[in-house]
Amino acid sequence: MKTQNIFKNYIGYVNKKEELSCTFNKDEMEQNKHNFSSFEEYPTTDKSLWLDYSKEKTTFKIWSPTATAVKLNFYKTGNDSEVFATFNLVPEENGLWLKTIEGDLDGTYYTYQTFINENWLSETPGIYAKAVGVNGERAMVLNMDAINPKNWEQDTYVQLKSPNSAIIYELHIRNITIQTEANSSYPGKYLGLIEKGVKSTLNVATAIDHIKELGITHVHLLPTFDQYSIDETHLEVPQFNWGYDPQNYNVPEGSFSTDPFKAEVRIPEFKKMIQAFHNAGIGVILDVVYNHTGVIENSNFNLETPKYYYRFNNDGSYSNASGCGNETSSERKMTQKFILESVKYWTEEYHLDGFRFDLMAIHDVETMNLIADEITKINPSALIYGEGWTGGDSPLPEQKRALKKHIPQMPKIAAFSDEIRDAIKGSTFDDRSTGFVSGAKFKEESLKCGIVGVIQHPQVNYMYINHTDFPWALQPWQAINYVSCHDNYTLFDKLKISRPDASLKDIKAMHKLATAIVTTSQGTPFLHEGSEIMSTKKGDHNSYKSPDKINEIDWNLKVKNSDVLAYYKNLIKLRKKHPAFRMTTAKEVQENLEFKKIDHSLVSYQLKNNANKDSWSKILVIFNSQNKIINYQLDQTYRVAVINDSFDFEGKQEVKGNVSVPGISMMILFEE
């Protein structure tokens, strides 16, 4: 390897068997000792902590104000090889340690070790690692420009007129192509997701062809950074995890690449995936989990600067607002710096179109606003949204948390609307609970709240809304409207479990109506992978590490439920064709959306005044969740756009006086 000759002549070269601590001057180590009574006393730095690589030299950096020595180990491979050189990093101001080494180190694997409290901690690739070997244990110096896909410099973000012009499709990379019947050349891989021209055993399009066919605008990837749970050295053994167990935040997950042993493989394959989606006019959103780490004591955070990056209870134990054993301290300067620089890195290096923040309320409002400001400077069309809640209590004062109710303080950020979710299908946390589409009473007001995007609207009574008692969104696009996601049951499973008495025909009608509400409401619509073909996880409500047979997309359902897919495609086409369903401001919605007849299991409203420059001057939307036809009185003549599964964008049929609205369905009428 070209790097080995450089190090044989370098003064810092040592044999691994040598006692490495002897290479450090004990007096100097004593001078480097600092006693801090609180994290607030730690010196901080505004300097870049990223590896600085050029063909002439590389500068290695780490921030560890409590370390008294730091060493840098070099390896030929990402695993199963011994150290062939070790160097002492030099302490600089404010806890910064660095070392510049001459020569082209491209391809060299490395780790850091800190000496803290008279002990050498375990090796770490460093929290700012951009490339890692198998299982993420060693970082690698890498000339990123040299491995970019062809024409990568021409790749660019997907542009949006407004955030709610997006139609988001959440997916897990493995799920889409891992089924044998998917016939993928790269099952469960980045390249499998974007493989064109692939047909399932039943001769229907899969992977990116299916996603393009559906018509969505953005894919939302479940966490795709390097994670702990998957053993990349034994991928012959089927393994699954959603990915909410971060290890290396700035590197793509290796198990989705064709060779996780080579750090230089996963990066261009991840970029090829993004490039393929961009070429198809589809944006890519990354689900990010900066709120906790997959492990605690040997996390990369703790191996650099123990405990600083976490929050603690009064008794000294790790606080746990994530429900995963720990939570990070976004309010501290160096944690905030790391999160901010990481999302900027993903945006600039990988051309990502946005981020979904897991348990966003663990983070503080200030940090989230800084993220939104910086990312939208790079890409004004970037989508930034998250879960406006925590998984438990936190030492972070409630008024500082990026909660859903604090969205008015975060004008560039959206949050998931559990108001519309539970109004449509019933409580996520009660199996038997039903919603508007499945026959529950008194869900109409919550549904209205979701339809307007949880903004202030004169016809919504916020005293009767689930999960909120006030309109928390400043603008309609700040409400992410959804009825299912990776968490909990699929929509089909929820409807089936909560309505065991219902026929399959009625379940299917409820399923269609649920998504019809989501896609015609004023927020930003969010769809779950496989919902368009009525996917099931066989009743598993927490499939984060369940086998493929539970999580995989069953492509046979695309044939079995082809009518559901056709309905979804038409809903998406309708929304994209008619901007009245995606007004950009609260004022527009207040002036142009008027609720009409509201009754048990009936919600109707009118979009008027060529809302948002729509070609239709008036649009009447009727949701009937009763299992029977209702007679709806009309105040004028309309054309029929949607009735049952029939979509007629020309409106050849006219109706006046009254109209029969089929049971468990949406009807849309319009006036040109």
Query: Is 563 a residue of the active site?
Result: no
**Max CA separation in the chain (angstroms):** 94
Catalytic residue among 106, 358, 444, 529: 358
The alpha helices in 361-443, defined as continuous H runs, are 365-378, 418-425
H or E segment and range at residue 58: strand 57-63
According to DSSP, the residues that pair with 524 across neighbouring strands are: 480
- The number of residues making up the chain comes to 672
Query: Is 387 a residue of the active site?
Result: yes
Distance CA 651, CA 289 (A): 46
- 289, 247 contact by CB (below 8 A): no
Determine how β-strand 618-624 pairs with β-strand 638-643: unpaired
Distance CA 261, CA 131 (A): 11
Q: What is the DSSP string of 277-333?
A: HHHTT-EEEEEE-TT--S-STTSHHHHHSTTTTB-B-TTSSBP-TTSSS--B-TTSH
**Quick one: which of 107, 85, 88, 112 has its CA closest to 99?**
88
Detail the DSSP E strand segments found in 608-672. 618-624, 630-633, 638-643, 646-647, 654-655, 658-661, 665-671
Distance CA 235, CA 159 (A): 37
Structure tokens, 165: 């012009």
Distance CA 290, CA 525 (A): 24
Distance CA 486, CA 241 (A): 11
Distance CA 573, CA 577 (A): 6
Whole-angstrom Cα Rg for the chain: 27
Ramachandran category for residue 166: left, alpha or beta (phi over 0 → left; psi -120 to 50 → alpha): beta
Distance CA 569, CA 540 (A): 27
What torsion do the CA atoms of 493, 497, 499, 505 make, to the nearest 10 degrees?
40
Distance CA 661, CA 513 (A): 13
Would you name the residues annotated as active-site residues?
358, 387
